[in-house]
Amino acid sequence: MKKIYSPNKNTWKDILKRPTQTVEDIEATVLEVFNEVKTKGDSAIKKYTSLFDGVQLSDNMVSDSELNEAESVISDELKKAIQLAKSNIETFHAAQKTEMVSAETMKGVKCWQEKRPIQRVGLYIPGGTAPLFSTILMLAIPAKLAGCKEIILCSPPDKKGKVNPAILYAASLCGVTKIYKVGGIQAIAGMTFGTATIPQVYKVFGPGNQFVTVAKQLATKFGVAIDMPAGPSELLVVADDTADAAFVASDLLSQAEHGADSQVILVSTSKSLIEKVENEVYGQLAALPRKDIASKAIENSRLIYVENDETALELINEYGPEHFIICVKEEDLYVNGIVNAGSVFVGNYTPESAGDYASGTNHTLPTNGYAKQYSGVNLDSFMKSMTFQKISAEGIQGIGEAIELMAEAEGLYAHKNAVTLRLQSLK
């Protein structure tokens, strides 16, 4: 891990740079797949599933028998853990429901706002070495609470044409409507355009590799919304001498094992803690099954010493971490002062892993600095706010002249006339 001491402010941009790489031909590849799925539908889906996943499928929809089989192979212990997480996630997201907002802006002019669910949403769940069944809980639960009528899920099959049983169990438990054995670019394209088997959705959610990320961004050009721009996972920990070095190291490694392009950063006002954490990282790393992946991420990571908490907070807000852990004596300074972070974890006994799985908050969060302008997924992500208004005869008489004057000033006389006719009818 690269250690940096008292960096000058004009170097912050460089030392906080993400390790993401731009692949020049990636958008061309994505667009090629999109165009073929748009014109050839399911036959293109099958082609790319064979090409990218190495399996030929006669039917890409998961059957009831496959769901039953998946439930039978999941241990009772894991089922209980998933159900506990589901309960906590439901509790926290149900608490996000808001009442109708209503105001009479002037006599006889009533305006109100109500929320309506997005009718059809698509969830993308990666498979591979880390099948993220926990992400189903984070997406399907708020979608169900919001009232989405159709919840479509795509996840890549393995070489045997199967989807990870934990993914299937979680999807069934959380009320997913239909599940498809489709991954990568072709899954996003299928949900964007719709095929004979895969419904077209209105919004796509979920993480993925760089190809999936670009595919989601491309989907927005075809009228499909996405949850947020997303990239490799990242974590920043701020810690001082009150922190437990072993805990801090374990948190850094928990994100490093996501992928070689993940990034973890420790910011500290204690040089001795930095040394302790570095030793712990390499000690714990040796015992990890995914140590090869985590080791590459550690190469992209930083141990940064700063002189005081105020400088640390300014640097952290400049970075805008996806996950932010606070392990310091003056925790209120950071809790009250952080403005750019996806999700915040406070105290020595609050690991980032808790938010990833079972505390109740959502783990689908903005990365790559997008925490400066994007929120993580929440109940409102699956809803639209609609405004309503009703104007009485008294109301149009009170507001009408102002509308006429403004419309005329903009040269929109039909707008003015729509009011004038009503006012004349009341004379």
pLDDT in tens, 303-335: 999 999 999 999 999 999 999 999 999 999 999
Task: Answer yes or no: is 424 a known binding residue.
Answer: no
Q: Residue 300: what pLDDT?
A: 84
Per-residue model confidence (pLDDT) at position 131: 87
What is the chain's length? 427
Residue 363, marked binder: no
* 120-124: strand order across its sheet: 178-180, 150-154, 120-124, 203-205, 225-226
Domain boundaries defined on the chain: 26-107+116-226, 231-375, 392-425
Domain 231-375, what architecture?
A: 3-Layer(aba) Sandwich (3.40)
The answer to whether 25 is annotated as binding is no
Residue 259 confidence (pLDDT): 87
Q: Report, in this order, helix, strand and coil percent for the chain, each rounded to 5.
A: 50, 15, 35
Whether the per-residue pLDDT at 21 is higher than 70: the answer is no
* Assigned CATH class of 392-425: mainly alpha
Find all residues with CB under 8 Å of 164, minimum gap 6, and list them: 127, 131, 133, 155, 158
The yes-or-no verdict on residue 129 having pLDDT over 90 is no
User: 64-73 and 165-173 helices cross at what angle (nearest 10)?
Assistant: 110
307: annotated binding-site residue? no
DSSP E strands, 193-300:
203-205, 225-226, 234-239, 263-268
Which tokens belong to 233?
Answer: 């996972």
322 catalytically annotated: yes
Q: Binding residue per annotation — 240?
A: no
Is 21 labelled as part of a ligand binding site?
no
Answer whether residue 407 shows pLDDT above 70. Answer: yes
Element (H, E) at 345: strand 343-346
Other CB atoms within 10 Å distance of the CB of residue 196:
8
**How high is the pLDDT of residue 87?**
98
Q: Which one of 66, 234, 257, 322 is the catalytic residue?
A: 322
Q: How far is CA 83 from the centre of its chain?
A: 21
Query: How far apart are alpha carbons 360 and 185 in whole angstroms?
Result: 30
Give start and end residues of each alpha helix (H) in 375-412. Answer: 393-409
Query: From CA 49, how far away is CA 62, in angstroms rounded?
Result: 15
Confidence of residue 25 (pLDDT cuts 50, 70, 90): confident
- pLDDT at residue 130 tops 80: no
Say whether pTM exceeds 0.75: yes
Domain 26-107+116-226 top-level CATH class: alpha beta
Q: Please report the pLDDT score of residue 324 as a whole number.
A: 98
Q: What per-residue confidence (pLDDT) applies to 189?
A: 98
20, pLDDT greater than 80: no
Picking from 205, 239, 227, the residue whose alpha carbon sits closest to that of residue 345 is 239
Please choose, from the candidates 256, 258, 268, 267, the residue with its C-alpha nearest in 3D space to the C-alpha of residue 298.
256
Nearest to 176 by CA among 202, 213, 138: 138
For the stretch 213-260, pLDDT in tens is 899 999 999 999 999 988 789 999 999 999 999 999 999 999 999 988
Q: Is 56 annotated as a binding residue?
A: no
Catalytic one of 93, 234, 257, 323: 323
Residue type, 27: E
Same fold, 231-375 and 392-425: no
